[in-house]
């Protein structure tokens, strides 16, 4: 393997299997987080090692859900990893159970300084925080921006991180560019802002980085939104990066995969709540490697 910190283009030598710590919640019903990251990244030929941040009976868009925050076990969990001597090529974080878990992620970074840092700063959408997120958690999440090799907020999360007011979805390229510039100034190396929908039938993802020009990738928008698309998008984006694709190619791939999975989900019972059913499009991920 070449230096994992050289994100684009990530190169694998021979049959090497990269190992990724996936720091997300585990959700019983309503496909998202680890339930997405493990299969998608495994299909891309990666060894996914979960660090569960919380256990949920169902995702938080259900009116009732049970949550168990795992913060108190993380020190022991990571101590045991240190003793075993696990080598990591990447650390991919998402939905957190508490503000204190940011410290656990920083500990993994310190223990694995060469590992890529992919931060999906899951905190909310549509201008509102998810119900389990507190202001303290959002403030803590901002500490993960500095040094992130790849940061993947939606507009709500970008606004929480930058302090620029959320202005809805119908924003100009200039507004998105300014948000990305702020995130790069805060220390992120590459930023993808996802899911911008201006009501013109397109959904847009934007990318920019210290060595990557600001670009837009627009695609046809399906006339319904589903829960868990952000997690599937970020996992597919990372899958493509780990397969050696450029950031632009990875952004385009992830958008196609989410769209294809959404089309299939539409035909399933309870399609609005079950999360994105990506199982039958995993072959597209396998095809990356
Ligand atoms: N209705 C849709 N039609 C086509 N693609 C979609 C649709 N909804 C989401 N996607 C794809 O999934 C990505 C992530 O979804 P989004 O809902 O923006 O994430 P989040 O859950 O983080 O807010 C989008 O950027 C887009 O590429
Ligand atoms: C438990 C849980 N995990 C993860 C997510 C992230 O979902 P999305 O991919 O839509 O950002 C959510 C969003 O509500 C959630 O409730």
This model of the complex carries an ipTM of 0.98
Phi then psi dihedrals of residue 107, to 5 deg:
-65, -40
Probe target for ligand 2 pocket from 26, 29, 37, 60, with the most ligand atoms within 8 Å of CB: 60
> In a structure prediction context, what are the per-residue pLDDT tens digits for the chain, which is 289 residues long?
333 445 655 666 678 899 999 999 999 999 999 999 999 999 999 999 999 999 999 999 999 999 999 999 999 999 999 999 999 999 999 999 999 999 999 999 999 999 999 999 999 999 999 999 999 999 999 999 999 999 999 999 999 999 999 999 999 999 999 999 999 999 999 999 999 999 999 999 999 998 889 999 999 999 999 999 999 999 999 999 999 999 999 999 999 999 999 999 999 999 999 999 999 999 999 999 8
Q: Does 18-277 carry CATH code 3.40.1190.20? A: yes
Ligand nearest to the CA of 125: 1
45 sits in the region (left: phi over 0; alpha: psi -120 to 50; else beta) called left
pLDDT of residue 2: 38
Instruction: Report CA(224)–ligand 1 centroid distance (Å).
Output: 10
pLDDT of residue 4: 43
Calculated CA dihedral for residues 195, 196, 199, 203, nearest 10 degrees: -50
Could you give the angle at which helices 229-242 and 247-265 cross, rounded to 10 degrees? 140
pLDDT of residue 11: 62
- Does ligand 1 lie within 6 Å of residue 204's CB atom? no
The Cα–Cα gap between 167 and 272 comes to 26
- Measured from CB, residues less than 6 Å from any atom of ligand 2 are 25, 27, 32-33, 56, 59-61, 95, 122, 130, 227-231
Instruction: Report CA(14)–ligand 2 centroid distance (Å).
Output: 35
- Does ligand 1 lie within 6 Å of residue 124's CB atom? no
Contact 70, 55 (CB under 8 A): yes
Q: Taking the alpha carbons of 24, 51, 41, 111 in that order, is the dihedral positive or negative?
A: positive
Ligand nearest to the CA of 194: 1
- Does ligand 1 lie within 6 Å of residue 125's CB atom? yes
Q: Which residue ranges make up each domain of the chain?
A: 18-277
């Amino acid at each position: 393997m070449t230096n994992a910190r050289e994100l684009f283009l990530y190169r694998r030598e021979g049959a090497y299997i990269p190992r990724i710590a996936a720091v997300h919640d585990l959700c019983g019903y309503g496909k998202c987080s680890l339930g997405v990251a493990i299969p998608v990244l495994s299909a891309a030929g990666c060894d996914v090692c979960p660090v569960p941040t919380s256990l949920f009976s169902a995702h938080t868009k259900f009116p009732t859900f049970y949550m168990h925050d795992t913060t108190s076990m993380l020190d022991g969990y990571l101590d045991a990893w240190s003793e075993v001597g696990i080598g990591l090529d990447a650390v991919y974080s998402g939905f957190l159970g508490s503000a204190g878990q940011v410290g656990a992620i920083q500990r993994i970074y310190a223990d694995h300084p060469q590992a890529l840092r992919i931060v999906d700063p899951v905190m909310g959408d549509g201008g509102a925080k998810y119900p389990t997120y507190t202001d303290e958690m959002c403030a803590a999440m901002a500490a993960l921006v500095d040094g992130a090799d790849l940061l993947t907020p939606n507009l709500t999360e970008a606004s929480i991180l930058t302090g620029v007011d959320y202005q809805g979805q119908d924003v100009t390229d200039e507004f998105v560019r300014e948000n990305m510039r702020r995130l790069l100034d805060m220390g992120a190396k590459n930023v993808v802002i996802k899911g911008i929908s201006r009501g013109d039938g397109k959904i847009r993802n934007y990318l920019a980085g210290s060595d990557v020009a600001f670009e837009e990738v627009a695609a046809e928008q399906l006339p319904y939104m589903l829960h868990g698309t952000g997690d599937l998008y970020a996992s597919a984006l990372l899958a493509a990066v780990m397969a050696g694709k450029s950031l632009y190619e990875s952004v385009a791939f992830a958008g196609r995969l989410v769209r294809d999975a959404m089309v299939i989900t539409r035909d399933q019972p309870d399609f609005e709540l079950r999360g994105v059913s990506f199982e039958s499009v995993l072959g597209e991920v396998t095809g990356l490697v």
